[in-house]
Amino acid sequence: MKLAIRTELEYALSGPTDILLQLEAAILPEQAVHSAHIALPPARHFARLPGHDQIGDRIWLHLEDRLTVTYEAIVEPERLVTPLAGLPAVPPHLLPGETVDYLLPSRFCPSDTFQQFVLDQFGALQGGDRVSAIRDWVGGHMRYVPGASDAQTTAADSFRSGQGVCRDYAHLVISLCRASAIPARFASVYGLGVEPQDFHAVAEVFLDDTWHLVDATGMTRPEAMAKIGVGPDAAGVSFLTSYGPVTLERQSVDVVSV
């Protein structure tokens, strides 16, 4: 299955502003990018740099008064999707070095505050069985309510409120997995079937020596996702980070199967 992706952004700037973008589907062994084009405004500065874990590209722009972006791509997910149930966790002392940071608390994922909860709620389960139970618990505990959270909402806030959007589901799954000594990171993706269509956020967990995408919203599946980038939480892989005031004028994301 191939995904046709089209993203359009229009933002007004109040003056010279540095913008960091990450919205292109990453070129990875697990997904083939058959075609891609990004149209950007003339900029006083343009540079590409790698994203977290060398997954995807970020783009630096220094702009004067307006940001307009059009991105189009055809991406074919080719990742091997393995059911989580029964997959073994890697003991923390045997983890690859690059995964260890994803055991630690981060800005939006205060995993250290959930250790007693995961012991009480999931203590009888291990590895992929525990991750499956966490995914299902978060999916049942949370209600998808646009506007119920904001850019400062943490997993602890979502745990208490029981509502939010995809980033909140992902942060809570990540926090509960890290509290279980299972590395977990935030993944920004394009997903087929996401409603309302937008940039989508899921968790990615490290089991049986590889990473596995986990969507507690149930909106899309790993085989229907095009990965953009990863990070410790949403702060590390935002599609747009501005160093100066910006005003959203229009934004659209469209993902269809072709």
Q: Where are the domains of the chain?
A: 3-78+239-257, 92-232
Contact 219, 195 (CB under 8 A): yes
Residue 82 token pair: 């393995």
Which of the residues in the chain have pLDDT under 70? none
DSSP 237: S
Instruction: Supply the pLDDT for residue 198.
Output: 95
What pLDDT score does 95 carry? 98
Q: What is the structure's pLDDT at 17?
A: 96
Express each pLDDT in 71-93 by its tens digit.
999 999 999 999 999 999 999 99
pLDDT digits (tens, 9 = 90+) for 128-175: 999 999 999 999 999 999 999 999 999 999 999 999 999 999 999 999
Question: What are the distances in angstroms from CA 43 to CA 10, 19, 62, 240?
Answer: 15, 10, 6, 16
Backbone CA torsion sign across 83, 197, 108, 15: positive
CB 34 within 8 A of CB 74: yes
Q: How much is the pLDDT for 209?
A: 97
3 state SS of 75? strand
The predicted pLDDT at position 125 comes to 98
Structure tokens at 48: 């590409």
Is this model's pTM higher than 0.95 or not? Answer: yes
According to DSSP, residue 173 is labeled H
For the CA atoms of 208, 214, 220, 224, the dihedral, rounded to the nearest 10 degrees, stands at -30
3-78+239-257 CATH: 2.60.40.2250
- Is CATH 3.30.9.10 correct for 92-232? no
